[in-house]
Amino acid sequence: MDSLKYVLPDFILTEASPFEFNRRMDDNRRPYRTEVQFYKSMESLKYNINREAITAEQREAFYKMRCIMRDIESAFYKSFGIDITDRRTVYSECLHHLIPHQFEPSVCLMDEWIKLPSA
């Protein structure tokens, strides 16, 4: 929200209460099905944060998010022996979006995705 206000100061934005946020998340929202999908959504969030427009606490949260992303990258490499962004993964098939979509892959590797009957 602070990044948006920084870029568009006249934009009117109302922050959702925790109750409203949870209600929206419960309404037909899909969980992340793979590490790749989750990682790409975090990457999207990271790219949309203007570091010049955030508070010290938000900056700390941003750095924690980057640490989580590195942990995901490391765990993925340990599991599959390739980088999470490698062309052999489904990284290119997942959207840069916080909300997962039903047409996104339900597996991590492209070979498995191509072999699925629904792909």
Three-class SS string for 51-115?
HHHCCHHHHHHHHHHHHHHHHHHHHHHHHHCCCCCCCCECHHHCCCCCCCCCCCCCCCEHHHHHH
Q: How far apart are CA 14 and CA 75, in angstroms?
A: 37
Chain segment 79-91, per-residue pLDDT in tens: 999 999 999 999 9
**Comparing 7 with 72, which gets the higher pLDDT?**
72
Question: Could you give the C-alpha distances from 78 to 19, 108, 119, in angstroms and in order?
Answer: 38, 13, 26
Q: How far apart are CA 53 and CA 61, in angstroms?
A: 14
Q: How far apart are CA 100 and CA 37, in angstroms?
A: 7
Amino acid at 110: M
Contact indicator for 99, 30 with CB cutoff of 8 Å: yes
pTM > 0.85: no
Number of structural domains (the chain) is: 1
Mean pLDDT for the chain overall: 86
Chain segment 28-44, per-residue pLDDT in tens: 666 889 999 999 999 99
Q: Which domain holds residue 72?
A: 2-115
